[in-house]
């Protein structure tokens, strides 16, 4: 699914690279607040969903070719993250809702294609 | 061997990952396979952040050989007192500040071990830690499977350079005086463009040069073969002629095309990615593996018709198979030793020579054969719908596939798919030759005519699509050197040299473009030098 479409359905606001969101496709998402975890599950079709707001997210997304990052609880990215996302062409969106609600919506949007976080 | 090293500063969170980013760029430029890049980068990033979190200074040294990447990370950190404990998931000694950033999950070392093929860790408390890991790289991805099916007879080459201009992947070179055409196998996709363009016949398909004894053998022909002998000779006459030659059984490839089409359409009901691309034409498969690796997952996971037929017939003992293009030849001839077929592969012309006198004699005697045959097939198995690559009955459940024929159209369409501009197509059937396999330059009859005739032909026996056991794999076709270290060095040399060339792409030097000449010179591919450039020597 296109990131722009997904942002619409989530009611999320795209704050970086909105012009790319129409092209970027994701098929699954991964929720975690741990960098190692995001690194391990990210792919070129994964939306990274996280409560973190620092620039290392952009690095992980860049390294693993993940097209987008979704922040939670309406938290704004810190300036270095915003700048890094812009520079590396990573779509950055902010979901107003919390982790569970966002994950639920994403799961509904992406059907069975989701990659669930292991216990 | 390529070596590089990166200094890592402890506590410098802002630059954590910079070395890994740089390493990734290097690996990409030298054409390392994506899965290996992914594993290397996960391990490198974890190792790099470990230094940032725990040490004050560290160094990452990377050695890239043709078969593997070795990474060694040294730091002057506090050392690890209990390595077994450190290797447990969830164990971490990271500071609160690091944890706040999302680090220190206690997964770093286990992640490195999981992602690498070899992993060692040495640590002395109070002195530092040395971590080493290795990731194996696929050195020659599927090179064997794509050896060229084009045979070169240099003595026939007149140096007209037409082949250079038509080759869609710039895989051909013609060195001058004496003229010697050469194929860069790593770029060749086994389409038949160069064979079609070569009037003197210096380029041909690499199949048997003489027809083996047909007695008692079974024969596989492309369906188009039945329609090569003019308006007066219908498929039944050709079949009769073939059995007169002594073949015990004659089968057509058509049903395998049919079966593949049905299987591909079924695939589109539960696609991994849309559009689903039929692997009917092996030249197209080669093209995707080389130029469009991101579309490999769109390929339906089946063998091409000729490979499927080859698999079905592998048990049948000695047989004769007519391959109608270089890609089919390569698929049949260049299989791994364990799967070698007990079959002779011949080009259509060899068989046509034998069939021609037989059907020509008949044509005089019974001039109404063709119309009789048509009536016969009317009453028996008259096909119900129009023809694609063969006669077909409509089984489509997902709407008609988009059929694209001709390599240039195919390339444009693949680019559109890659750019996401074809959301309205579910199934793609792509053929490198115009009008699909009817358009092979090895066939005499014009593609439109033979295909038109095939429309009213009788239906053949059923066949089934054969699932692939080996997945499609990306080809590092554009890789500059097998030794990836040299590849890096050469890249900048090529760019430098290219800027000195005129950029007219006249091809008189024997390379299709100025870019290609620069690449050839730097890579020392064939005896060539900058003095080959006619435009520069004229001045």
Tens digits of residue pLDDT in B354-408: 898 888 876 655 444 444 444 444 333 333 333 445 444 444 444 578 999 999 9
Ranges under pLDDT 70 in chain B: 1, 29, 66, 138-147, 314-317, 334-341, 362-399, 457-460, 476-486, 488, 526, 539
Buried b (16+ CB within 10 A) or exposed e, B432-469: bbbbbbbbbbbbebebeebbebbebbbbbeebebbebe
The residue with greater pLDDT, B485 or A59, is A59
Q: Identify which of A34, A63, A80 has the shortest CB distance to residue B105.
A: A34
Across chain A, mean pLDDT equals 88
Residue of A nearest to B21 (CA): A63
- Please tell me the predicted confidence (pLDDT) of residue B289: 87
How near does any CA of chain A get to the CA of B102, in Å? 5
How near does any CA of chain A get to the CA of B39, in Å? 9
CB contact under 8 Å between A35 and B21, yes or no, is: no
Rounded-to-integer distance, Cα B134 and Cα A32, Å: 28
By the CB < 8 Å criterion, does B111 face chain A? yes
- Please tell me the predicted confidence (pLDDT) of residue A101: 92
Helix locations, B56-212, DSSP H: 83-86, 96-100, 108-115, 162-166, 193-197
CB contact under 8 Å between B17 and A63, yes or no, is: yes
Tokens encoding B411: 């390339």
Which residues of A are less than 8 Å from B419 in CB distance? 23
- Please tell me the predicted confidence (pLDDT) of residue A90: 93
CB contact under 8 Å between A56 and B13, yes or no, is: yes
Which residues of B are less than 8 Å from A60 in CB distance? 17, 45
CA B311 to chain centre: 20
CB contact under 8 Å between B45 and A60, yes or no, is: yes
The residue with greater pLDDT, B423 or A75, is A75
Which residues of A are less than 8 Å from B24 in CB distance? 63
- Please tell me the predicted confidence (pLDDT) of residue B331: 83
Pairing of β A46-50 and β A28-31: parallel
- Please tell me the predicted confidence (pLDDT) of residue B528: 78
Tokens encoding B105: 């999950």
Q: How many CB atoms lie within 10 A of CB A18?
A: 15
CB contact under 8 Å between A63 and B101, yes or no, is: no
Which residues of A are less than 8 Å from B37 in CB distance? none
Tokens encoding B1: 């061997």
Tokens encoding B359: 């059907």
ipTM for the predicted complex comes to: 0.77
Chain B segment 70-99 residues within 8 A of A by beta carbon are none
By the CB < 8 Å criterion, does B347 face chain A? no
Among A32-36, A101-105, B400-404, the minimum mean pLDDT is found in B400-404
Run of H or E including B483: none
Residue of A nearest to B108 (CA): A36
Rounded-to-integer distance, Cα A103 and Cα A107, Å: 6
CB contact under 8 Å between B14 and A23, yes or no, is: no
Q: Identify which of B17, B38, B105 has the shortest CB distance to residue A59.
A: B17
Chain B segment 16-35 residues within 8 A of A by beta carbon are 16-17, 20-21, 24
- Please tell me the predicted confidence (pLDDT) of residue B485: 62
CB contact under 8 Å between B45 and A63, yes or no, is: yes
pLDDT of A78 higher than 60: yes
Only one residue has tokens 């005519």, namely B449
Residue A56 backbone dihedrals phi, psi, to 5 degrees? -65, -25
CB contact under 8 Å between B102 and A63, yes or no, is: no
Q: How many CB atoms lie within 10 A of CB B352?
A: 19
- Please tell me the predicted confidence (pLDDT) of residue A82: 93
Rounded-to-integer distance, Cα B362 and Cα B229, Å: 12
CB contact under 8 Å between A33 and B102, yes or no, is: yes
Cβ-Cβ contacts under 8 Å for B41 (sequence gap 6 or more): A63, A64, B20, B23, B24, B27
Q: Name residue A50's beta-bridge partners.
A: A71
- Please tell me the predicted confidence (pLDDT) of residue B141: 46
Only one residue has tokens 């070392």, namely B109
**DSSP, residue by residue, B78-121:** ---S-HHHHTSTT-----HHHHHTT---S-HHHHHHHH-SEEEE
């Amino acid at each position: 699914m296109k990131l722009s479409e997904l942002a619409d359905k989530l009611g999320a606001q795209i704050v970086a690279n909105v012009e790319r969101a129409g092209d970027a496709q994701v098929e699954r998402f991964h929720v975690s607040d741990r960098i190692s975890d995001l690194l391990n599950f990210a792919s070129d079709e994964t939306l990274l969903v996280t409560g973190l707001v620092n620039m290392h997210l952009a690095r992980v997304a860049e390294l693993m070719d993940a097209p987008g990052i979704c922040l939670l609880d309406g938290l704004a990215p810190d300036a270095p993250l915003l700048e890094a996302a812009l520079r590396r062409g990573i779509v950055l969106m902010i979901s107003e809702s919390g982790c569970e609600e966002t994950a639920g919506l994403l799961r509904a949007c992406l059907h069975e294609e989701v990659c669930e976080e292991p216990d | 061997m390529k070596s590089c090293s990166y200094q890592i500063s402890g506590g410098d969170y802002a630059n954590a990952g910079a070395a890994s980013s740089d390493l990734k760029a290097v690996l990409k430029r030298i054409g390392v396979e994506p899965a290996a890049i992914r594993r290397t980068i996960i391990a490198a990033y974890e190792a790099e952040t470990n230094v940032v979190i725990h040490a004050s200074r560290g160094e990452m040294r990377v050695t890239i050989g043709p078969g593997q990447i070795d990474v060694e990370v040294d730091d002057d950190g506090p050392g690890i007192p209990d390595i077994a404990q450190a290797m447990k998931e969830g164990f971490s000694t990271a500071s609160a500040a690091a944890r706040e950033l999302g680090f220190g999950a206690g997964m770093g070392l286990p992640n490195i071990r999981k992602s690498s093929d070899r992993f060692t860790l040495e640590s002395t408390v109070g002195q530092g830690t040395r971590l080493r890991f290795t990731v194996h790289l696929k050195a020659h991805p599927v090179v064997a499977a794509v050896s060229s099916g084009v045979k070169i007879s240099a003595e026939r080459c007149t140096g007209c350079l037409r082949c250079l201009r038509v080759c869609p992947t710039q895989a051909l070179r013609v060195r001058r005086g004496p003229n010697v055409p050469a194929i860069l196998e790593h770029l060749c996709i086994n389409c038949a463009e160069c064979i079609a363009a070569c009037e003197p016949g210096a380029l041909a398909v690499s199949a048997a040069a003489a027809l083996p004894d047909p007695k008692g053998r079974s024969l596989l022909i492309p369906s188009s073969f039945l329609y090569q002998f003019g308006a007066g000779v219908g498929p039944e006459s050709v079949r009769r002629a073939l059995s007169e030659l002594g073949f015990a059984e004659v089968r057509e490839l058509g049903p395998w095309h049919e079966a593949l089409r049905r299987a591909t359409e079924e695939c589109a009901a539960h696609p991994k990615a849309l559009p689903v691309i039929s692997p009917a034409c092996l030249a197209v498969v080669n093209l995707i593996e080389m130029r469009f690796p991101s579309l490999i997952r769109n390929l339906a996971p089946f063998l091409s018709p000729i490979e499927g037929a080859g698999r079905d017939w592998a048990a049948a003992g000695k047989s004769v198979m007519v391959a109608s293009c270089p890609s089919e030849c390569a698929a049949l001839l260049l299989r791994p030793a364990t799967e070698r077929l007990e079959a002779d592969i011949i080009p259509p012309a060899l068989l046509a020579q034998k069939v021609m006198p037989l059907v020509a004699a008949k044509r005089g005697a019974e001039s109404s054969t063709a119309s009789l045959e048509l009536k016969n097939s009317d009453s028996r198995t008259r096909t119900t719908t129009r023809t694609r690559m063969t006669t077909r009955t409509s089984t489509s459940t997902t709407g008609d596939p988009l059929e694209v024929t001709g390599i240039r159209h195919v390339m444009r369409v693949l680019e559109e798919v890659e750019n996401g501009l074809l959301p309205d197509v579910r199934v793609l059937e792509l053929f490198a030759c115009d009008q699909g396999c009817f358009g092979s330059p090895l066939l005499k009859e014009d593609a439109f005519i033979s295909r038109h005739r095939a429309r009213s032909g009788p239906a053949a026996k059923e066949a089934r699509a054969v699932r692939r056991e080996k997945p499609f794999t990306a080809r590092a076709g554009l890789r500059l050197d097998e030794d990836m270290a040299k590849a890096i060095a050469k890249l900048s040399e090529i760019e430098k040299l290219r800027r000195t060339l005129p950029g007219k792409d006249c091809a008189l030097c024997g390379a299709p473009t100025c870019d290609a000449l620069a690449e050839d010179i730097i890579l020392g591919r064939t005896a060539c030098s900058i003095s080959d450039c006619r435009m520069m020597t004229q001045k």
